[in-house]
A and B are shown apart, each in its own frame.
Chain A
Amino acid sequence: KAGVTQTPRYLIKTRGQQVTLSCSPISGHRSVSWYQQTPGQGLQFLFEYFSETQRNKGNFPGRFSGRQFSNSRSEMNVSTLELGDSALYLCASSLAGNSYNEQFFGPGTRLTVL
Protein backbone atom coordinates (compact mmCIF):
# COMPACT_ATOMS: atom_id res chain seq x y z
CA LYS A 1 0.00 0.00 0.00
CA ALA A 2 1.08 3.58 -0.56
CA GLY A 3 3.13 5.22 2.16
CA VAL A 4 2.65 8.55 3.87
CA THR A 5 2.84 11.42 1.43
CA GLN A 6 3.63 15.05 2.15
CA THR A 7 3.22 18.07 -0.08
CA PRO A 8 4.96 20.18 -1.02
CA ARG A 9 8.39 18.63 -0.61
CA TYR A 10 10.20 21.96 -0.62
CA LEU A 11 9.01 25.44 0.23
CA ILE A 12 10.67 28.83 0.43
CA LYS A 13 8.93 31.66 2.26
CA THR A 14 9.87 35.01 3.71
CA ARG A 15 9.52 36.23 7.27
CA GLY A 16 6.01 37.22 8.21
CA GLN A 17 4.31 35.01 5.66
CA GLN A 18 2.24 31.99 6.52
CA VAL A 19 2.48 28.46 5.17
CA THR A 20 0.31 25.36 4.98
CA LEU A 21 1.76 21.88 4.75
CA SER A 22 -0.22 18.78 3.86
CA CYS A 23 0.05 15.15 4.92
CA SER A 24 -1.86 12.15 3.54
CA PRO A 25 -1.66 9.14 5.85
CA ILE A 26 -1.56 5.50 4.90
CA SER A 27 -5.04 4.29 3.97
CA GLY A 28 -6.87 3.16 7.11
CA HIS A 29 -4.66 5.10 9.49
CA ARG A 30 -6.60 7.53 11.62
CA SER A 31 -3.81 9.15 13.61
CA VAL A 32 -1.46 11.77 12.21
CA SER A 33 1.42 13.29 14.15
CA TRP A 34 3.62 16.19 13.13
CA TYR A 35 7.27 16.76 14.05
CA GLN A 36 9.77 19.53 13.43
CA GLN A 37 13.33 18.44 12.73
CA THR A 38 16.25 20.88 12.99
CA PRO A 39 20.00 20.30 13.33
CA GLY A 40 20.06 22.01 16.71
CA GLN A 41 16.94 20.64 18.38
CA GLY A 42 16.50 17.33 16.58
CA LEU A 43 13.00 15.91 16.23
CA GLN A 44 10.39 17.72 18.27
CA PHE A 45 6.75 16.74 18.60
CA LEU A 46 4.29 19.35 17.38
CA PHE A 47 0.84 17.76 17.69
CA GLU A 48 -1.20 14.64 17.05
CA TYR A 49 -4.65 14.33 15.52
CA PHE A 50 -7.09 11.46 15.65
CA SER A 51 -10.56 11.51 14.12
CA GLU A 52 -10.32 15.24 13.44
CA THR A 53 -9.45 16.01 17.08
CA GLN A 54 -6.16 17.26 18.42
CA ARG A 55 -5.26 14.92 21.27
CA ASN A 56 -1.74 16.01 22.09
CA LYS A 57 0.31 19.14 21.62
CA GLY A 58 4.01 19.84 22.04
CA ASN A 59 5.65 22.99 23.34
CA PHE A 60 5.32 25.22 20.32
CA PRO A 61 3.81 28.72 20.11
CA GLY A 62 0.28 29.27 18.93
CA ARG A 63 1.59 30.25 15.49
CA PHE A 64 1.74 26.51 14.83
CA SER A 65 -1.65 24.97 14.27
CA GLY A 66 -3.12 22.03 12.50
CA ARG A 67 -6.25 20.23 11.56
CA GLN A 68 -7.42 16.88 10.33
CA PHE A 69 -10.14 16.16 7.84
CA SER A 70 -12.72 13.37 7.81
CA ASN A 71 -10.56 11.37 5.38
CA SER A 72 -7.69 11.57 7.94
CA ARG A 73 -5.61 13.88 5.78
CA SER A 74 -3.97 16.54 7.88
CA GLU A 75 -2.63 20.03 7.38
CA MET A 76 -0.41 22.12 9.55
CA ASN A 77 -0.18 25.87 9.36
CA VAL A 78 2.51 28.22 10.53
CA SER A 79 1.62 31.89 10.64
CA THR A 80 3.93 34.89 10.86
CA LEU A 81 6.97 32.88 9.86
CA GLU A 82 10.28 33.45 11.61
CA LEU A 83 13.77 32.53 10.47
CA GLY A 84 13.89 29.90 13.19
CA ASP A 85 10.97 28.05 11.62
CA SER A 86 13.26 26.82 8.87
CA ALA A 87 13.21 23.06 9.32
CA LEU A 88 12.17 19.71 7.97
CA TYR A 89 8.56 19.03 8.93
CA LEU A 90 7.69 15.37 9.20
CA CYS A 91 4.34 13.78 9.55
CA ALA A 92 3.70 10.23 10.68
CA SER A 93 0.57 8.12 10.60
CA SER A 94 -0.55 5.14 12.62
CA LEU A 95 -3.68 3.05 12.97
CA ALA A 96 -5.08 4.34 16.23
CA GLY A 97 -2.38 6.62 17.56
CA ASN A 98 -1.52 4.83 20.76
CA SER A 99 1.96 3.80 21.75
CA TYR A 100 1.36 0.20 20.61
CA ASN A 101 0.85 1.28 17.00
CA GLU A 102 3.85 1.68 14.74
CA GLN A 103 4.28 5.15 13.27
CA PHE A 104 5.06 5.42 9.58
CA PHE A 105 6.86 8.57 8.52
CA GLY A 106 6.55 10.64 5.40
CA PRO A 107 9.49 12.08 3.47
CA GLY A 108 9.04 15.51 5.00
CA THR A 109 8.58 19.05 3.77
CA ARG A 110 11.70 21.19 3.79
CA LEU A 111 10.70 24.75 4.75
CA THR A 112 13.19 27.57 4.29
CA VAL A 113 12.33 30.99 5.70
CA LEU A 114 14.31 33.90 4.27
Chain B
Amino acid sequence: AQRVTQPEKLLSVFKGAPVELKCNYSYSGSPELFWYVQYSRQRLQLLLRHISRESIKGFTADLNKGETSFHLKKPFAQEEDSAMYYCALSESGGYQKVTFGTGTKLQVIP
Protein backbone atom coordinates (compact mmCIF):
# COMPACT_ATOMS: atom_id res chain seq x y z
CA ALA B 1 0.00 0.00 0.00
CA GLN B 2 1.18 3.51 -0.71
CA ARG B 3 1.52 5.96 2.15
CA VAL B 4 2.59 9.59 2.48
CA THR B 5 3.64 11.08 5.80
CA GLN B 6 3.93 14.74 6.60
CA PRO B 7 5.10 14.85 10.22
CA GLU B 8 4.37 18.52 10.89
CA LYS B 9 0.82 19.86 11.04
CA LEU B 10 2.05 23.42 11.45
CA LEU B 11 5.34 25.06 10.56
CA SER B 12 5.93 28.66 11.56
CA VAL B 13 8.90 30.57 10.17
CA PHE B 14 9.89 34.21 10.01
CA LYS B 15 9.92 36.07 6.71
CA GLY B 16 13.29 35.63 5.05
CA ALA B 17 14.07 32.41 6.91
CA PRO B 18 14.58 29.10 5.09
CA VAL B 19 11.67 26.71 4.80
CA GLU B 20 11.68 22.94 4.71
CA LEU B 21 8.43 20.99 4.63
CA LYS B 22 9.03 17.33 5.24
CA CYS B 23 7.50 14.47 3.31
CA ASN B 24 8.26 10.78 3.55
CA TYR B 25 6.61 8.04 1.54
CA SER B 26 6.34 4.31 1.31
CA TYR B 27 5.64 2.66 -2.02
CA SER B 28 6.85 -0.56 -3.52
CA GLY B 29 6.72 0.52 -7.15
CA SER B 30 8.07 3.49 -9.07
CA PRO B 31 6.54 6.59 -7.52
CA GLU B 32 5.75 9.96 -8.90
CA LEU B 33 5.80 12.64 -6.21
CA PHE B 34 3.99 15.96 -6.12
CA TRP B 35 3.53 18.97 -3.92
CA TYR B 36 0.12 20.63 -3.93
CA VAL B 37 -0.69 23.95 -2.31
CA GLN B 38 -3.92 25.51 -1.13
CA TYR B 39 -3.88 29.22 -0.42
CA SER B 40 -6.60 30.73 1.75
CA ARG B 41 -9.97 30.60 -0.04
CA GLN B 42 -8.45 29.14 -3.18
CA ARG B 43 -8.55 25.73 -4.79
CA LEU B 44 -6.03 23.04 -4.32
CA GLN B 45 -3.41 23.37 -7.06
CA LEU B 46 -0.28 21.64 -8.17
CA LEU B 47 2.90 23.39 -7.03
CA LEU B 48 5.53 21.10 -8.46
CA ARG B 49 6.34 17.52 -9.35
CA HIS B 50 9.62 15.70 -9.10
CA ILE B 51 9.63 14.60 -12.73
CA SER B 52 9.71 18.22 -13.91
CA ARG B 53 12.69 19.17 -11.76
CA GLU B 54 11.43 22.75 -11.74
CA SER B 55 11.64 25.55 -9.24
CA ILE B 56 8.22 27.08 -8.76
CA LYS B 57 7.84 30.31 -6.75
CA GLY B 58 11.32 29.66 -5.39
CA PHE B 59 10.38 26.19 -4.10
CA THR B 60 12.32 23.06 -4.99
CA ALA B 61 11.94 19.44 -3.99
CA ASP B 62 14.35 16.58 -4.51
CA LEU B 63 13.29 12.96 -4.57
CA ASN B 64 15.58 10.90 -2.35
CA LYS B 65 14.77 7.27 -3.07
CA GLY B 66 17.22 6.01 -0.47
CA GLU B 67 15.51 7.93 2.32
CA THR B 68 12.09 7.76 0.60
CA SER B 69 11.70 11.48 1.08
CA PHE B 70 10.53 14.41 -1.02
CA HIS B 71 11.04 17.47 1.15
CA LEU B 72 9.95 20.89 -0.11
CA LYS B 73 12.45 23.70 0.36
CA LYS B 74 12.71 27.42 -0.13
CA PRO B 75 15.73 29.49 0.90
CA PHE B 76 13.84 32.65 1.90
CA ALA B 77 10.21 32.52 3.02
CA GLN B 78 7.77 35.19 1.88
CA GLU B 79 4.49 36.14 3.54
CA GLU B 80 2.58 35.02 0.44
CA ASP B 81 3.92 31.51 0.96
CA SER B 82 1.56 31.06 3.91
CA ALA B 83 -0.74 28.22 2.87
CA MET B 84 -1.55 24.55 3.33
CA TYR B 85 0.92 22.24 1.58
CA TYR B 86 0.19 18.63 0.66
CA CYS B 87 2.67 16.04 -0.47
CA ALA B 88 1.20 13.42 -2.80
CA LEU B 89 2.19 10.24 -4.59
CA SER B 90 0.98 8.18 -7.51
CA GLU B 91 2.34 5.36 -9.59
CA SER B 92 4.65 6.71 -12.26
CA GLY B 93 2.95 6.42 -15.63
CA GLY B 94 -0.04 4.77 -14.09
CA TYR B 95 -3.59 5.93 -13.75
CA GLN B 96 -4.29 8.72 -11.37
CA LYS B 97 -4.83 7.18 -7.98
CA VAL B 98 -3.22 9.86 -5.88
CA THR B 99 -2.40 9.38 -2.22
CA PHE B 100 -2.12 12.59 -0.25
CA GLY B 101 -0.38 13.34 3.01
CA THR B 102 -2.32 15.02 5.77
CA GLY B 103 -0.82 18.40 4.97
CA THR B 104 1.37 20.98 6.66
CA LYS B 105 0.20 24.50 7.31
CA LEU B 106 3.00 26.95 6.65
CA GLN B 107 2.73 30.21 8.53
CA VAL B 108 5.21 32.92 7.58
CA ILE B 109 5.53 35.52 10.31
CA PRO B 110 6.21 39.07 9.08
Whether B96 and A106, one on each chain, are in contact in the complex, defined by CB atoms closer than 8 angstroms, is no
Whether A100 and B51, one on each chain, are in contact in the complex, defined by CB atoms closer than 8 angstroms, is yes
Instruction: For B51, list chain A residues within 8 Å (CB).
Output: 100
The answer to the question of A90 belonging to the interface, with a C-beta cut-off of 8 Å to chain B, is yes
Closest residue of chain B to A90, judged by CB?
Answer: B44
Q: Count residues of A near B (Cβ-Cβ below 8 Å).
A: 27
The answer to the question of A8 belonging to the interface, with a C-beta cut-off of 8 Å to chain B, is no
Closest residue of chain B to A56, judged by CB?
Answer: B97
Shortest CB–CB separation between residue B22 and chain A, in angstroms?
16
Whether B96 and A48, one on each chain, are in contact in the complex, defined by CB atoms closer than 8 angstroms, is yes
Instruction: For A92, list chain B residues within 8 Å (CB).
Output: 44
Q: Classify the interface of chain B: helix, strand, loop or mixed.
A: loop
- A80 CA / B91 CA spacing, docked (Å): 33
- A44 CA / B103 CA spacing, docked (Å): 12
Q: Count residues of B near A (Cβ-Cβ below 8 Å).
A: 21
Shortest CB–CB separation between residue B57 and chain A, in angstroms?
16
A-B contact count (CB 8 A): 58
Q: List 22 A-B contacts (CB under 8 A).
A: A31-B96, A42-B100, A43-B86, A43-B100, A45-B99, A48-B95, A56-B96, A56-B97, A58-B97, A90-B44, A92-B44, A98-B93, A98-B94, A98-B95, A99-B90, A99-B92, A99-B94, A100-B51, A103-B46, A105-B43, A105-B45, A107-B43
- Interface residue ranges, A against B (CB under 8 Å): 3, 31, 33, 35, 42-45, 48, 50, 55-56, 58, 90, 92, 94, 97-107
Given contact pairs A45-B98, A56-B96, a sample of 15 additional A-B residue pairs in the complex whose CB atoms are under 8 Å apart: A3-B43, A31-B96, A33-B98, A42-B86, A43-B86, A44-B100, A45-B97, A45-B100, A48-B97, A92-B44, A97-B95, A98-B93, A98-B96, A100-B32, A106-B43
